[in-house]
Structures are given as C-alpha cells and as structure tokens.
Homo-oligomer: A and B are copies of this chain.
C-alpha cells in the first residue's frame, strides 16, 4: 500500500524530468526517494546522507544541483528559517499555507496551518502593485521546558 503511494510520487518526478527534457538518472531518483522518505524537515547535508544509503555514488554537488529541480517540481518545498543553511520538506499532504514555529533550543520546526496568510500577502502586495511569489510567517521561540528541566519531549508536527 504505502509503496504504491511512494511509486506514484516517483512517477510524478520522472514525468517532471521528462517534460523538461532532463534525464532520469539513478542519482536524481535516489535523491528524490531519499527526500520523500524523510518524515521531517531536512538539510542538504542530511539529504546527501540519506541519498547515499540508496546510491553511494551520489555526491554533494549532485544533491545541490537536484534541489532546485525538486522544488521546481513542487514535490519538495524550501523552508528558510533564517539560519545559514536551508531546510527542505516533502510536500506530502500540505493543502493550506503553513507558518513555522522554530524552537531555538530544540532545533525543531513545527508547521502550523495559517490559511489567512494567503489572503494577507496578496492584499498587501497588490497595494504596492506587486504579485506575490512566496511568503513565510515564522516565529522563533525558546523552549521553557528544555531550559528548566534540561530536556524537551515535544514532537515534530510534520
């Protein structure tokens, strides 16, 4: 069951590549599969590790070259939380706009539905005669629990 769903996404990505006249290589597919089996937000470096589990010939350069394709295909989204490296996440069943709450202590990213953002960004941009391309609403926060008890048992929200 689960495998079929996976396969469907893999098919989508192959189609995307073909449609753009790009080649379906082992490395690209390994990187894509690795990205899609992350339940979590991941960095380029983490993606490299995961990809190498599927195809140990994958190099860092290829991961970085594949990431724009993954985001362009809309199967993966970029999540820039203002650190000096970027996070990514698979677009598995995200329907509405999501805000991010970033725990500065736990290093976790919680995604929260914030449907009003769709409207807000559009309204504000239109007043300036601009068309929205992308938007983000982020809250950086401290984990009181971690700071007082020395540990935190919160779990990721997708």
Complex Cα–Cα for A104 and B133 (A)? 9
Taking chain A's interface residues, is the majority helix, strand, or loop, or is none over half, making it mixed? strand
Question: How many residues on the A side are at the interface (Cβ–Cβ under 8 A)?
Answer: 32
Most chain B CB within 10 A, of A80, A99, A104, A124, is at A124
Question: Does A134 make an interface contact (CB < 8 A)?
Answer: yes
Q: Is the CB of B125 within 8 A of A101?
A: yes
A128 contacts which chain B residues (CB < 8 A)?
A: 101, 103, 110, 141, 154
Measured between alpha carbons, how far is A119 from B154 in the docked complex, in Å?
A: 23
A144, CB-defined interface residue at 8 Å: yes
A26 CB within 8 Å of chain B: no
- Give the copy number: 2
Cβ of A140 and Cβ of B134 under 8 Å apart? yes
Residue A92 is within 8 A (CB to CB) of chain B in the complex: no
- Which residue of the partner chain, among B82, B125, B134, B141, contacts A125 with CB atoms under 8 Å? B141
Query: 8 Å CB contacts to B: which residues of A5-50?
Result: none
Interface residues of A (CB under 8 A from B): 80, 82, 99, 101, 103-104, 110, 112, 117, 120-121, 124-125, 128-145, 154
